[in-house]
Structures are given as C-alpha cells and as structure tokens.
C-alpha cells in the first residue's frame, strides 16, 4: 500500500472531491452497512446544507491508496464535530485519523469525534489522544420495506413530490416550522434560493422528496429519501412536521410513502440516523450506536 495524504478541495458544492467522497461512501456500504452513521445520503444532504461551514472544508483530510480514497476525516457541520470514515481494509489508519482530527478539525481547542461503539482501534487511539466518551449517542435504525406498515392520509390531505407541482414557499414553511417551532419563517427570495440549493444534489430522485399537503394547501409534513438504483437501502433525511398538524399521523405517512416509493425502485431497507420512538413505532428497529467522544481544551 502506498498511502498518501492530502486535503479536500476548498471549493464548495459539486467538485471532483465531492464525487470522490460520495463514491467512497457508496462503495464501503455497498454490501452491508459498514458505516451506517454516515451513508452517502448524509454526505449529499450535508454538502448542500445551509448550516455547513464551507469556509473550512479545505481542512477535510483524505488518505489515498494509489489515488483511491481509503479514509477521510471531515466535520459534521462545523469545526469541532469530527466524522471519521475508513475502509475496512485500512483499519491501521484509524490512529492517524484521530490524530489528524485532533490537530486540524478542532474549534478553538474544543473537539468531539463520533466513534462506533465497540471499535477498539478507534477507541484506544482516542484515549491516547486525550478523548473521553460522553453520554451523547448517535443511533441508527432500519426498516424492512417488505414489512412496511399500512398507512393512509386523513380526508382532504394528499401527497406531492419534487417531481410534481412543487411549491418552494410551502417547502420552506414546513421545514422552518418543523425545526423551529413557534417561529415565523422568512419567505424572501434569498431564503428560497438557499432551500433550492439544499435540494440541488445531482443524486436526488425528485419523486422521493415527498410532502403531505393539507386541505388549505399547506405543506404539513415532509420527508426526503436518498436512494441510488441498485443499492439495497435508502436513507431518510430530513423529516419535518408543522406543529399545527402534529398528532394526525402525517409524519408517519410522509416517511412511509417516501420509503414505499424507494421500495418500488428496488430498495429493501430504509435507514435513519435516529433513536426516536417515532421511528420505532412505525416499524424501524435499532441496529447501531456510536458515541461522541470529547477532548477538552487543556
């Protein structure tokens, strides 16, 4: 093995390095979910996300073997929260990933890294660098699409997708209200432009970006699903429901409809990065945990 290190191209959005990470994540999870806490859909959602710190993406670290990506160290949305990913054939690189995150991905000395529970190579290297596990966990859950629950919408409600007559103002409305309850959304063109960019990934299948429309025409609940034909799994991100329309089964319907559509395209499992009871109640079950480890500024 001839391992070389370099940094990520600092240009935003859809560069050759973006493609390299995407294809790497597709490959390492192609036969089984080896890294369920970071499937390729998580990368797609992150790279277009309005909260991503794009000024520092040049600090992402790449380890390559003959030009092929073997491992990567990135941050989740901003410096201080590191995500480490290594091909199973390159476990010996894990201490290097920990050391690199410690040196280059901290936020003024504050640093967390997400490590799979039971991965002794990562954990021992983290302890050697001064990290300690916290109580903050990452949960992954899956649903067998063949066992999908039945679901229906209340009278007057219907589904719409990005492939249909999509309303960007309504999409912005449900996303804002779902993640910022009690706050009124801004609907100017700059905000709508950001929303459009967040759904600009070339990997999006428009029919899998689904919202539930109320009789008044409001987007009441939303679910996005990332799927690549040929994969055995699809990835759910994001899910939001306007508080006005909660406790009506609309979130369940949005998720299961998006998953059902993925199943029609060939997916056999749906995966979500969550341990919320909501997902367990609609047929998901836990498959994986990881822990945020913290290294405090000395």
Q: Is there a single domain that holds both residue 154 and residue 77? A: no
Q: Is there a single domain that holds both residue 105 and residue 187? A: no
CA-based nearest residue to 90, from 113, 63, 116? 63
233 within a domain of the structure (yes/no): yes
Q: Is there a single domain that holds both residue 212 and residue 265? A: yes
Task: Please say which residue of 82, 100, 130 terminates a domain.
Answer: 130
Which two structure tokens, joined as six digits, stand for 249?
């089964």
Q: Whole-model pTM?
A: 0.95
68 within a domain of the structure (yes/no): yes
Q: Which residues of 77-89 are buried (b: 16+ CB within 10 A; e: fewer)?
A: eebbbbbbbbbee
Which two structure tokens, joined as six digits, stand for 15?
């560069």
CA-only gyration radius of the chain, Å: 20
Q: Is there a single domain that holds both residue 182 and residue 277? A: yes
CA-based nearest residue to 177, from 166, 164, 186? 186
> In this predicted structure, what is the pLDDT of residue 296?
76
98 within a domain of the structure (yes/no): yes
- Give the SS3 label for residue 264: helix
How many whole angstroms separate alpha carbon 134 and alpha carbon 292? 6
How many whole angstroms separate alpha carbon 204 and alpha carbon 223? 13
Q: Is there a single domain that holds both residue 113 and residue 153? A: no
> In this predicted structure, what is the pLDDT of residue 1?
67
Give the domain extent around 83: 3-130
Which alpha helices (H) appear in 129-184, and where do they start and end? 168-179
Q: In this structure, what are the phi and psi dihedrals at residue 235, rounded to the nearest 5 degrees? A: -120, 130
Task: Please say which residue of 80, 99, 130 terminates a domain.
Answer: 130
> In this predicted structure, what is the pLDDT of residue 184?
86
Q: Is there a single domain that holds both residue 269 and residue 150? A: yes
Residue matched to tokens 């936020």: 107
Which two structure tokens, joined as six digits, stand for 103?
């040196």
CA-based nearest residue to 36, from 143, 132, 111, 110? 143
52 within a domain of the structure (yes/no): yes
259 within a domain of the structure (yes/no): yes
> What residues are paired with 85 via a beta bridge?
72
Q: Is there a single domain that holds both residue 149 and residue 280? A: yes
152: CB partners within 8 A, 6+ apart: 253
How many whole angstroms separate alpha carbon 178 and alpha carbon 290? 26
End-to-end CA distance of the chain: 36
Q: Is there a single domain that holds both residue 174 and residue 125? A: no
Q: Tell me: the pLDDT tens digits for 162-198?
A: 999 999 999 999 999 999 998 888 999 999 999 999 9
Q: Is there a single domain that holds both residue 195 and residue 253? A: yes
**How many structural domains comprise the chain?**
2
> In this predicted structure, what is the pLDDT of residue 267?
98
Q: Tell me: the pLDDT tens digits for 185-244?
A: 899 999 999 999 999 999 999 999 999 999 999 999 999 999 999 999 999 999 999 999
Q: Is there a single domain that holds both residue 84 and residue 193? A: no
Q: Is there a single domain that holds both residue 157 and residue 275? A: yes
CA-based nearest residue to 211, from 259, 244, 254, 243? 254
65: CB partners within 8 A, 6+ apart: 1, 2, 3, 90
- Where the chain has pLDDT below 70, the residues are 1, 297-298
165 within a domain of the structure (yes/no): yes
Task: Please say which residue of 130, 158, 174 terminates a domain.
Answer: 130
Q: What is the CATH number of the domain that holds 36?
A: 3.40.630.30
138 within a domain of the structure (yes/no): no
298 within a domain of the structure (yes/no): no
Q: Is there a single domain that holds both residue 152 and residue 85? A: no
């Amino acid at each position: 093995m001839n391992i070389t290190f370099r940094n990520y191209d600092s240009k935003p959005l859809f560069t050759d390095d973006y493609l390299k990470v995407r294809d790497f994540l597709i490959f390492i999870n192609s036969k089984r979910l080896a890294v369920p806490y970071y499937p390729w859909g998580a990368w797609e959602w992150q790279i277009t996300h309005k909260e991503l710190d794009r000024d520092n993406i040049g600090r992402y670290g790449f380890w390559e073997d003959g030009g092929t990506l073997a491992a990567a160290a990135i941050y989740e949305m901003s410096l201080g929260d590191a995500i480490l990913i290594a091909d199973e054939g390159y476990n010996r690189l894990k201490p290097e990933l920990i050391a690199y995150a410690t040196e280059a991905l901290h936020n003024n000395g504050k640093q967390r890294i997400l490590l799979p529970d039971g991965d002794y190579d990562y954990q021992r290297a983290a302890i050697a660098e001064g990290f300690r596990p916290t109580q903050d966990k990452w949960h992954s859950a899956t649903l067998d699409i063949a066992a999908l629950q039945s679901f229906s919408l209340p009278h007057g409600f219907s589904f719409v997708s990005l492939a249909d007559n999509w309303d960007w103002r309504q999409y912005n409305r449900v996303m804002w209200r779902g993640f910022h309850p009690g706050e009124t959304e801004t609907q100017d063109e700059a905000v709508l432009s950001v929303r459009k960019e967040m759904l600009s990934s070339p990997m999006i299948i428009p029919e899998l970006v689904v919202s539930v429309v109320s009789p008044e025409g409001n987007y009441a609940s939303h679910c996005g699903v990332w799927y690549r034909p040929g994969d055995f799994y699809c990835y759910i991100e994001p899910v939001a429901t306007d508080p006005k329309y909660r406790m009506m089964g609309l979130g369940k319907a949005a998720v299961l409809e998006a998953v059902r559509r993925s199943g029609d395209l060939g997916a056999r499992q749906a995966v979500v990065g969550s341990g919320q009871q909501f997902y367990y109640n609609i047929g998901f079950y836990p498959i994986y945990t990881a822990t945020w480890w913290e290294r405090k500024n000395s």
